[in-house]
Amino acid sequence: MGEEGSEGTVHLLCLAASSGVPLFCRSSRGGAPARQQLPFSVIGSLNGVHMFGQNLEVQLTSARTEDTTVVWRSFHDSITLIILSSEEGTSELKLERLLQMVFGAMVLLVGLEELTNIRNVERLKKELRASYRLIDSFLGDSELIGDLTQCVDCVVPPEGSLLQEALCGFAEAAGTAFVSLIVSGRVVAATESWWRLGTPEAVLLPWMVASLPPQAARDYPVYLPHGSPTVPHRLLTLTLLPGLELCLLCGPRPPLSQLDPQLLERWWVPLLEPLRACLPLGPRALPGGFPLHTDVLGLLLLHLELKRCLFTVELSSDKEPSPEQRRRLLRSFYSLVTATHFPPELGLLDEKAEDTAPQAQVPRACYLVSGTEEPDSGCRLVALQLWPRRLLLLLSPQAPTHGLRGLATRTLHSLTPLL
């Protein structure tokens, strides 16, 4: 299994489906934004072969060369997105989900009407510039994983009940039901209405807040790709501490000026210490001192019904591989097990297995071992699914292969109360 993202180039193309006119091209190399652009002849050829297939009623979705994977996706017969990746070990699943996120970002900031009823291409190009920062963050090496899992990145605060109570009180006082507390793009706490947001906005909104430059307050117009793709809402953000932001999704009211310091002081100044305790949770996700086996180098826990996840590689930081390599390994392993062993439909089978005859054969666990030719080298990866949860662990090479499933089972049981 290759390390996704290692010294490869990614090109993202957006074109008007009817005319083939390029709307934008974004690129990254080695996880960092790049200025390299594809020649217009290459862009035309990639779009031409896709349109040629459509004219013959053949849907071209992906192709592979010796060193590049290409994925095409059309949205509403109006926008065509094409992505080319030469990253080692990249998967079609990752690229397909990335294109879904990119189109969601375009709707979030421009609105579906502008994308499906293109009246002026040049004006649309200018409007889409507002989405570049968010789209570029998908192409880079992010510490988040919601773009791939389609689940909201979360953290577990030490004083979660206190923060939740204050959040609900503040939401009532502010006059909106959609409020969340976000640290480094991860949700610390949220109201019930916020959790009911659909995909992809539930993932996109915290991600977008993390991608924006720091500001004390913002009043940002956004469309909800699932809930309100044609009528804009307002996203208000208030910085409580550097890296920790309060987010409100609302209509014309309340005005930003109404959220005066007195309202913030009433609900949040008494919780200054619990709020400060949230700041280290950005990269770690779990509260300090949470008991985990010393062989665990990284983990990804998903709640597939709630669409939430915990993701961290900031465990046993004194060991190899580096956090960047750990993220790539876990992302690649997630793509592998989701595409082959645990596709979404198997979760539904698992849920109904007791009622079926004969009982459905649903995979429960799988593992991958690398570096076996040299003692104490490489790593161990194990995945365990007990519906509705799925746990992926990255383990040190000292972890015995015969004990992987037992270790994963114990870890899942200890994490279950958190998510």
What does each of the 419 residues of the chain score in pLDDT, given as a tens digit?
555 555 789 999 999 998 889 999 999 988 787 877 888 888 888 988 888 887 788 888 999 988 899 999 999 999 999 999 998 878 999 999 999 999 999 999 999 999 999 999 999 999 999 999 999 999 988 899 999 999 999 999 998 999 999 999 999 988 899 999 999 999 999 999 999 999 999 999 999 999 999 999 999 999 999 999 999 999 999 999 999 999 999 988 888 877 777 788 889 999 999 999 999 998 889 988 888 999 999 999 999 999 999 999 988 777 888 899 999 999 999 999 999 888 765 555 555 554 544 455 778 999 998 775 565 667 899 999 998 999 999 999 888 889 999 999 999 999 999 99
**SS3 label, residue 85:** strand
**How many whole angstroms separate alpha carbon 201 and alpha carbon 250?**
14
Q: Distance between CA 76 and CA 357 in Å, rounded? A: 41
Please tell me the predicted confidence (pLDDT) of residue 87.
Answer: 87
Report cis status (omega within 30 of 0) of the bond before 321.
Answer: yes
Distances (CA, A) of 116 to 11, 89, 121, 129, 412: 23, 34, 12, 17, 44
The two beta strands, 32-34 and 22-29, are antiparallel
Are 269 and 245 within 8 A, CB to CB? no
List b or e across 263-281, with b for residues whose CB sees 16 or more CB atoms inside 10 angstroms: eeeebbeebeebbebbebb
Helix (H), strand (E) at residue 138: helix 132-139
Coil, strand or helix at 84: strand
Q: Which of 173, 183, 417 is nearest to 290 (CA)?
A: 417
Residue in the block written with tokens 């999704």: 249
Structure tokens at 197: 């947001």
pLDDT at res. 352: 52
- pLDDT tens digits, residue range 298-325? 999 999 999 999 999 988 777 888 899 9
Residues 308 and 152: beta-carbon distance below 8 Å: yes
CA trace torsion 236, 239, 243, 247 (10° rounding): -30
The Cα–Cα gap between 112 and 107 comes to 5
The predicted structure's pLDDT at residue 357: 43
Whether residue 200 has a cis bond before it, omega within 30° of 0: yes
Q: Do the beta carbons of residue 48 and residue 57 sit within 8 Å?
A: no
Cβ-based burial of 78 (10 A; exposed 0-12, middle 13-18, buried ≥19): middle
Q: What is the pLDDT of residue 380?
A: 93
Asked if the bond preceding 363 is cis, omega within 30° of 0, the reply is: no
Task: List, in order, residues 6 or more apart from 95 with CB less than 8 Å away.
Answer: 62, 69, 71, 83, 85
- 320 C-beta neighbours (distance < 10 Å), count: 12
Question: For residue 227, how many other CB atoms are within 10 A of its CB?
Answer: 14
* pLDDT for res 147: 95
- 3-state secondary structure (DSSP) of residue 409: helix
Which domains, and CATH codes, for the chain? Answer: 9-141 (3.30.450.60), 152-283 (3.30.450.30), 293-418 (3.30.450)
